[in-house]
Structure 1
Amino acid sequence: MPAASAAPAPAKSAPAKSGPQKAMERLGLLRDIDLALHLPLRYEDETRLTPLHQAREGETLQCEGVVTECRIELRGRRQLLVRLQDAEGDQLLLRFLHFYPSHQKTCAVGQRLRVRGELRGGFFGREMVHPQFRAVDEHTPLSQSLTPVYPTGANLPQAYLRKAVAAGLRRADLAELLPPGSVPPQLPTLREALDFLHHPPPRASLATLEDHSHPAWQRLKFEELLAQQLSQMQAQRERDLLSAPALRPRPGGLHEQLLAVLPFALTRAQQRVVEEIAQDLARPHPMNRLLQGDVGSGKTVVAALAAAVAMDAGWQCALMAPTEILAEQHFRKLVGWLEPLGLKVAWLTGSVKGRARQKMVEAVADGSAQLVVGTHAVIEDKVSFARLGLAIIDEQHRFGVAQRLALRQKLQAQSSRGGAQLEPHLLMMSATPIPRTLALTYFADLAVSTIDELPPGRSPIVTKVFADTRRDEVVGKIADAVHAGRQVYWVCPLIEESEALDLQNATDTHAQLCEALPGCQVGLLHGRMSPSDKTAVMAEFSAGRLQVLVATTVIEVGVDVPNASLMVVEHAERFGLSQLHQLRGRVGRGAVASVCVLLYTAPLSDTGKARLRAMAETNDGFEIARRDLDIRGPGEFMGARQSGAQLLRFADLQEDAPLLSAARRLAPALLDQHPAAAQRHVQRWLGGKAEFLKA
């Protein structure tokens, strides 16, 4: 305690964290269990010494010898040269281009060193550049297990990390939490599995360690999949305990009135998902449903019908989209359908300012605005709903985890007129179809409705893949399309020239097309433009006053111009497969056959070839999603949902399907019969990341 004084002594600040400590925090290595589960990328064999006369150039090996020379060479660049001689008299030069005085001290003449590195041929004989090394004596034992090499970051040396992981592994509580008989047979305990993976014996099969097929890996994968399934099922059960307004369509109500005024008939798939959503809305528990469908399958009208049910029952509905362009597309459609029926639709985005914004916020707060359409501005603190009964999120994967959690918290904060806490129903929409295995795993707490049928009258899209050496030919095709009265998109990956990436940029392309197409009106649209400018350009293109629109990926979703029948995507090899499919969906919306041209720059990577081949071979969004999963793997496919919080680090949903099935069977029984063990298991594996699964 500090001595008493007239003024209190300032509190001592906590000791500053060292570079390695900060680096470990950045890697999420906060708990002992985190360290224990930080598994090696690969292993080095330090269990044996190789005599230099048996070593081959290009081989990575460990050898031992006595230093016969240690000097600093100033010729060329400053470097430390150490000559080593082994027991047979063979010599090896160690070359250090970066070194400290401590290196010279350790490598003093007469000192015995144990070194490991790649053996190279050099002008002065065989050498190793920057090998690992340490001082030893004749009796220093060799390692009894393979040496782990861990994923690391800046300011975090392997030696420091190895010690930290070993200490965390010793301290971690790895007691068996699962009841006897629940783990697949012939798998080791968790303690045995982790001890083996961190310190495998010299004779361990490196092949089974590297391909993760070893039983020790299988145990970890099973535990991870089980934690993920438990977390999802817990979220689902917690939601089933909550109350929500029971919303039922009434005969002759808004639902039927909207169906009557639509200028088209619903497809069978749309009718089916409308009924699935209606059944959920009628329950006194909050709906948590994902509506997925291919580009142009008609998800907006399904959402409008769900909104009509909520509003007819006296509740408000909010529709949130990730971009202002997409939100405005929804707004226009919904206003056209709903305002003639006497409903007031509010518009809330970042570009709505001043008195206009205040007027919208007041209409939402007093309930006079039955439907609110907008961007993330809908979930700002100043926006309060009178009676929010249904929230609809379009392209939900485009929102960050923090935004989706904020929305959920806002929804939970809404109350009914009588003051009883009621949670709104939640409908999420995605035009990126999710393969069934992923839906069952990452969205186990969601009901999934799928529109697997396109409306009639959609023209087929032909996809052509051209090298960018045929650019002039493509410009000629644009001139032909414009002459025939059609409109064209040209999509670029960058707005302006970048020194880092030699990609054709939107501003240059716009200038080139203006010159190559005299008399043709060419527009430019990109994300740095003000919302009002973007709106004006899209209005001009939609009205047909612009024949060609050069754009970045702001047109990826939501843009609907039926007269556009040709799309060119520049540097298509740089785009993801689902993004290419979304872009392609901007054409083919009218009765005329449409073409999507993918321009690429050689040479193509294997991944680039696979993406472009998939685009040329199929228009089916579900097949595209399946191939995308094959190319990228589940973690990257679901990357936006994870938002950097890796939810499946070890398991592979395709290779480990039997383990996933076992985890899915065990999870409900564990929650019912051993709830405390289930909770400890989730905490061990996910910690605070369990919240991300609910987003």
Structure 2
Amino acid sequence: GGLHEQLLAALPFRLTGAQHRVTEEIARDLARPHPTHRLLQGDVGSGKTVVAALAATVAIDAGWQCALMAPTEILAEQHFRKLVGWLEPLGVPIAWLTGSQKGKARTRMLERVASGEARLVVGTHAVIQDRVVFERLGLAVIDEQHRFGVAQRLQLKRKLEGTPLEPHLLMMSATPIPRTLAMTYYADLDVSTLDELPPGRTPIVTKVFADGRRDSVIARIRDEVAKGRQVYWVCPLIEESETLDLQNTTETHARLGEALPGVQVGLLHGRMPAAEKAAVMARFTGGELAVLVSTTVIEVGVDVPNASLMVIEHAERFGLSQLHQLRGRVGRGSVASVCVLLYTPPLSDTGKARLRAMAETNDGFEIARRDLDIRGPGEFMGARQSGAALLRFADLAEDSALLAQARQLAPQLLEHHPRAADAHVNRWLGSKAEYLKA
């Protein structure tokens, strides 16, 4: 039906070369008679959403539905707004599903999904709830896939139950979890990489400071705000904890309010009602708030080009994926941006390795590779997403040449000796082969 070409013509910007290449790879996947299992890896701000939209047009044009699932309401809503702007003018009906929906509004959305009226469904974990029945789900897109558990990802793939079919699965991430990265070695996951940022993005400088230098960081905030810029300050807790002596969001919000007289300082955390969160974000996005003190709810899906400084409190407590995602909230415009990682000494060896990785590279795939080294890949035939690999014979680092060889030979074995391939799978995987689909 030409929907793909219509969207390309309607976009208010030109795709990068990487976006064109990746879009073609995904379109080839969708034309095959077996389910796609592809990871779209692209650094923060590389334009993964428009690639997902173009993939959705291919599925919708072929008469199927598409679902896009994101881990937070903030991110899901950002995707929804973009997709409505791009696709509804082309006649694509889009449904919105989140846990906060109630009553008639929710019932109406479920009816639109079940009847097939909604060709694209965007939402949070609500998309995989039992009550959500698709008429004909052909493509499932999971954004920030490292934020979902293995069982949750499998649940979305089972939405075609009652048929022998599975939907194509496209997972998107700026920093793949160690398990996912390790699975790419095993050829169970094809990888497309957006290795080109849209024009106008600036690299982010990352600095690591002990928390004794907090006053100089606050002085830097004053300078940024005086220039008309905006600042994030991220804390790991909402309120004071008796077990963990960490700077908490409410206390930090009060302290920054005192230290920055005349500066509008906002507060955002996951326990706030959805409407209140949306109001605070709207004030920050609109430039009314100069500083936003937040928990990790702003990890993904927040796009404020005027924000030039990110401060992460107790950075040693965060995983590398999270740190990289948080850092990606700045550097989204043409302004030179800085990310400050504040830590409390003494640091463990793992903490040192994490912070060193953040200071040395901005590359999401390199960050994921180091995360794999630090944390281990977890279970390939199970649900654990990090930790010792429990491989009896192979070593991911030392046996990379053998893995490359196996990757070339596997399709040949499948094509020319299918019975031997089945026996091989049963011998090594048995009933656990299902885990390779997540």
**TM-score, normalization: structure 2?**
0.91
Mapped pair 1:556 → 2:271: no
Correspondence for 2:364: 621
Q: How far is 1:562 from its partner?
A: 0.9
| 1:600-650 per-position Cα deviation (integer Å, ceiling 9, x unaligned) | 1111222222222222222122222232223333339x8996358976344
1:584–1:293 distance in 2 versus 1, CA, 3 Å:
same
Which protein shows a greater Rg?
A: 1
* 1:434–1:622 Cα contact (<8 Å) kept: no
> Which of residues 11, 15, 27 is equivalent to 1:262?
11
| CA distance in structure 1 between the partners assigned to 2:424 and 2:94 by the alignment | 45
| CA distance in structure 1 between the partners assigned to 2:57 and 2:387 by the alignment | 37
Question: Match of 2:182, as an amino acid?
Answer: L
Correspondence for 1:296: 45
| 1:202-233 per-position Cα deviation (integer Å, ceiling 9, x unaligned) | xxxxxxxxxxxxxxxxxxxxxxxxxxxxxxxx
Correspondence for 1:642: 384
Question: Match of 1:674, as an amino acid?
Answer: A
Correspondence for 2:132: 383
Greater relative contact order (CA < 8 Å, ≥ 6 in sequence): 2
* 1:397–1:641 Cα contact (<8 Å) kept: no
Correspondence for 1:465: 208
1:445–1:411 distance in 2 versus 1, CA, 3 Å:
farther
Q: How far is 1:556 from its partner?
A: 1.2
Q: How far is 1:261 from its partner?
A: 2.4
| CA distance in structure 1 between the partners assigned to 2:160 and 2:60 by the alignment | 16
Q: How far is 1:375 from its partner?
A: 1.0
| CA distance in structure 1 between the partners assigned to 2:10 and 2:276 by the alignment | 33
1:635 partner SS? coil
* 2:315–2:323 Cα contact (<8 Å) kept: yes
1:642 partner SS? coil
| CA distance in structure 2 between the partners assigned to 1:679 and 1:336 by the alignment | 45
Mapped pair 1:599 → 2:348: no
| 1:502-521 per-position Cα deviation (integer Å, ceiling 9, x unaligned) | 11111111111111122222
> Which of residues 549, 572, 580 is equivalent to 2:323?
580
The correspondence of residues 171-320 of structure 1 with structure 2, limited to 5 A, is 250=1, 253-320=2-69
| CA distance in structure 1 between the partners assigned to 2:153 and 2:249 by the alignment | 32
Structure 2, unmatched stretches of 5+, are none
| CA distance in structure 2 between the partners assigned to 1:507 and 1:349 by the alignment | 27
1:639–1:474 distance in 2 versus 1, CA, 3 Å:
farther
> Which of residues 346, 357, 362 is equivalent to 2:106?
357
| CA distance in structure 2 between the partners assigned to 1:676 and 1:604 by the alignment | 49
Q: How far is 1:270 from its partner?
A: 0.5
Identity of aligned residues (%): 76
Correspondence for 2:182: 438
The correspondence of residues 539-554 of structure 1 with structure 2, limited to 5 A, is 539-554=282-297
- Aligned pair count? 433
Mapped pair 1:366 → 2:108: no
* 1:349–1:377 Cα contact (<8 Å) kept: yes
Structure 1, unmatched stretches of 5+, are 1-249, 416-420
**TM-score, normalization: structure 1?**
0.58
Mapped pair 1:329 → 2:73: no
Q: How far is 1:691 from its partner?
A: 2.3
* 1:293–1:433 Cα contact (<8 Å) kept: no
1:422–1:401 distance in 2 versus 1, CA, 3 Å:
closer
1:538–1:267 distance in 2 versus 1, CA, 3 Å:
same
Correspondence for 2:96: 347
| CA distance in structure 1 between the partners assigned to 2:389 and 2:370 by the alignment | 22
Question: How large is the RMSD of aligned CA atoms in angstroms?
Answer: 2.7
* 1:462–1:596 Cα contact (<8 Å) kept: yes
1:687–1:388 distance in 2 versus 1, CA, 3 Å:
closer
* 1:291–1:430 Cα contact (<8 Å) kept: yes
1:448 partner SS? strand
1:663–1:648 distance in 2 versus 1, CA, 3 Å:
farther
Correspondence for 1:566: 309
Q: How far is 1:660 from its partner?
A: 4.2
* 2:39–2:191 Cα contact (<8 Å) kept: yes
| CA distance in structure 2 between the partners assigned to 1:549 and 1:262 by the alignment | 32
Correspondence for 1:609: 352
